[in-house]
Structure 1
Amino acid sequence: MIHRWPIRVYYEDTDLAGLVYYANYLKFIERARSEMVREAGIDQAEMKRARGIVFAVRRVEADYLAAAHYDDELVVETTLDSLSGARFDMPQTVRRGDQPIFQAKVSVVCIGPAGRATRLPADIRQKLETISMLTRG
């Protein structure tokens, strides 16, 4: 099972050429990751309030494959690829219909109150493992 999150391209998402501005793909995939984590039962605001931990993007590898335009209907597909002590990797693809137009591999790290990487709490880890099982089929 792959998490799918639909998005429509609005005028504000485009540049002077009428194409989606390249940095907006990062916004699209961030929203999709946040929705996937939320649907797994992880409340990131509560996680920060109660434990002082947050998720932060550590690395993004991105490939722009084709342009999206105003009013296109896109779908962001997200999976959880790997999970380690403090980090997880989430490949993401933005599609227009069957056509992939943007792909990224995003590494996310758990950051503690001191601003350093910290181990994922067991309950959060379990919820992420559930995502992993669901997205791997």
Structure 2
Amino acid sequence: MTDGAAVFANSFSWPVRVYWEDTDAGGIVYYANYLKFMERARSEWLRALGIEQGPLQRDHGLMFVVVDVQSRFLRPARYGDLLQVTCEIEKWTRTSLTFRQEVCRAGESNDRELLVSGSVRVACLDSARMRPRALPDALIKQMRVSGESDAE
């Protein structure tokens, strides 16, 4: 197993506004919706790198699926809050990526209040066979920080 935190793209942050549909009757974000927010941040991170998941599956027979999630809920988000959801690669193997993710309430003066922290492991699968597949070298190159060496 290789620790990819130093070689992959830096932390990515995605803004999320809490809407009424995200909350329970008390105006508090329903716990499962934090996973949706984290998913959106990972998808937008890929998109920012020029990687679209639809063409990956259609043209290359490759897909990412969540295989493990760990989360810690520290404080609630409420209706109307503006959140920042971050993701960065913590570890990687030939067939999976583990993301460290945080959901923070955005403050007035760039202060951030940590609400949820988590770890999400996604596996790279052959979409026809639904079996693990090695991350293609071209995909790994797209994820690297510009200027980093390809040697490991």
- Same fold by TM-score, threshold 0.5 exceeded? yes
**Of 16-25 and 122-131, the range deviating more from structure 2:** 122-131
**How do 1:25-104 residues align onto structure 2 when only pairs under 5 Å count?**
25-97=34-106, 98-104=112-118
Alignment of 1:4-43 (within 5 A): 4-43=13-52
Residues 10-36 of structure 1 show CA distances to partners (whole Å, capped at 9, x for unaligned) of: 011000121000110010000000000
118-127 or 20-29: which moved more?
118-127
TM-superposed CA distance for 1:93, in Å, is 0.2
Identify which of 109, 120, 126 aligns with 2:135. Answer: 120
Moved over 4 A (4+): none
Kindly indicate whether the alpha-carbon contact (under 8 Å) linking 1:78 and 1:91 is maintained by their aligned counterparts in 2: yes
Shift of 1:107: 0.4
Larger Rg: 2
Distance 1:16 1:59 in 2: 29
Task: Assess if the C-alpha contact under 8 Å between 1:83 and 1:129 holds in 2.
Answer: no
User: Which TM-score applies when normalising by structure 1?
Assistant: 0.91
- The number of residue pairs the alignment matches comes to 132
Instruction: Calculate the aligned-residue CA RMSD, in Å.
Output: 1.4
- Greater helix fraction, Structure 1 or Structure 2: 1
Unpaired runs of 5+ residues, structure 2, are: 1-9, 107-111
